[in-house]
């Protein structure tokens, strides 16, 4: 596995709603972590409450000089799933992209968040009886994702909950995955 020299920014995939827990765990390990959040008024009818939500649910950023030991220490942190990577190793994020994200902290408007999946994206099922099955996102509709799975003699499509799949990063650039 190749590690880029020097201190670089990386994207972490974390368990959804574990962003704050991961941030605190990495803080104790002296790893700089960025967990971008915003405030939103609760949509409950019976009461009004301000909620803190993540700009990128299930993802956050770290700045570190990665090597095998630090990589393992980060992965051992509660809630961390992986450091986004390709077949060569962890992918650094250019500073200008981090600077763009930092500008979000000053934004005071309505935030619209979107699913991390897009049509045509290669995905893998990560839980359940279809664990390991790979396909492509064909359609996103009402909280379910339709996945097209190639097989002989044709193809088949299934609908799954987004929490049961993950993007396959090998053929995608980090930038396109984060937009």
Q: Are residues 107 and 127 in the same domain?
A: no
**122 and 102 in a common domain:** no
- Residue 109 is part of a domain; what is its CATH number? 3.30.70.940
The answer as to whether 3 is a domain residue is: no
Asked if 76 and 125 sit in the same domain, the reply is: no
pLDDT at position 82? 93
Spatial distance between the Cα atoms of 52 and 111, rounded to a whole number of angstroms: 12
CB atoms within 10 A of CB 120: 9
Sign of CA dihedral 137, 173, 14, 49: negative
Judge if 90 and 135 occupy the same domain.
no
Q: Does residue 67 sit in the same domain as residue 122?
A: no
172 lies in some domain: yes
Structural domain includes residue 1: no
Share of the chain above pLDDT 90, in %: 30
Q: Are residues 103 and 121 in the same domain?
A: no
Picking from 113, 142, 167, the residue at the C-terminal end of a domain is: 113
Residues 125 and 106 in one domain: no
Per-residue pLDDT, 5? 93
Output the pTM of the full model.
0.61
Q: Is residue 139 part of a domain?
A: yes
Nearest to 111 by CA among 151, 172, 158, 57: 57
Phi, psi dihedrals of residue 113, rounded to the nearest 5° = -105, 150
Q: What is the pLDDT of residue 177?
A: 43
Cβ-proximal residues to 138 (8 Å cutoff; 6+ apart), any chain: 119, 146, 147, 148, 157
The domain of 138 spans 114-179
Residue by residue, DSSP assigns 68-135 as: HHHHHHHHTSTTEEEE-B-SSSBPPBPHHHHHHHHGGGG--S------S--TT-EEEE-SSTTTT-EE
The answer to whether 130 and 158 are in contact (CB under 8 A) is: yes
Say if residue 28's pLDDT is above 90: yes
pLDDT score for 29: 93
14 and 94 belong to one structural domain: yes
In a domain, 51, yes or no: yes
Q: State whether 22 and 87 are in the same domain.
A: yes
Residues 116 and 58: beta-carbon distance below 8 Å: yes
Number of separate domains in the chain: 2
CA distance 34 to 121: 26
70 and 147 in a single domain? The answer is no
At 92-128, the pLDDT tens digits run 998 988 888 788 777 666 665 555 677 888 888 887 7
CA-based end-to-end distance of the chain: 26
Is 72 among the domain residues?
yes
Residue 167 lies in a domain: yes
Tell me: the pLDDT tens digits for 41-96? 776 667 788 878 777 778 899 999 999 999 999 999 999 999 998 889 999 998 98
Distances (CA, A) of 156 to 83, 130, 133, 147, 163: 31, 13, 12, 8, 20
Q: Exposed, middle or buried, 164 (CB in 10 Å: 0-12/13-18/19+)?
A: middle
């Amino acid at each position: 596995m190749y590690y880029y020299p020097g201190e670089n920014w990386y994207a972490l995939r974390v368990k959804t709603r574990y962003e704050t827990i991961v941030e605190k765990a990495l803080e104790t390990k002296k790893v700089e972590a960025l967990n971008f959040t915003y405030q939103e008024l609760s949509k409950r009818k019976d009461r009004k409450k301000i909620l803190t939500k993540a700009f990128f649910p299930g993802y956050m950023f770290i700045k570190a000089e990665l090597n095998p030991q630090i990589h393992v220490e980060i992965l051992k942190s509660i809630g961390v799933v992986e450091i986004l990577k390709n077949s060569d190793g962890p992918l650094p994020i250019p500073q200008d992209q981090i600077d763009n994200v930092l500008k979000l902290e000053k934004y005071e408007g309505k935030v619209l968040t979107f699913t991390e999946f897009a049509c045509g994206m290669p995905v893998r099922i990560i839980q359940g009886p279809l664990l390991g099955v790979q396909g492509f996102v064909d359609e996103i509709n009402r909280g379910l994702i339709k996945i097209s799975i190639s097989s002989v003699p044709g193809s088949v499509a299934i609908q799954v909950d987004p929490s049961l799949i993950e993007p396959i990063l090998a053929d995608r650039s980090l930038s396109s995955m984060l937009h």
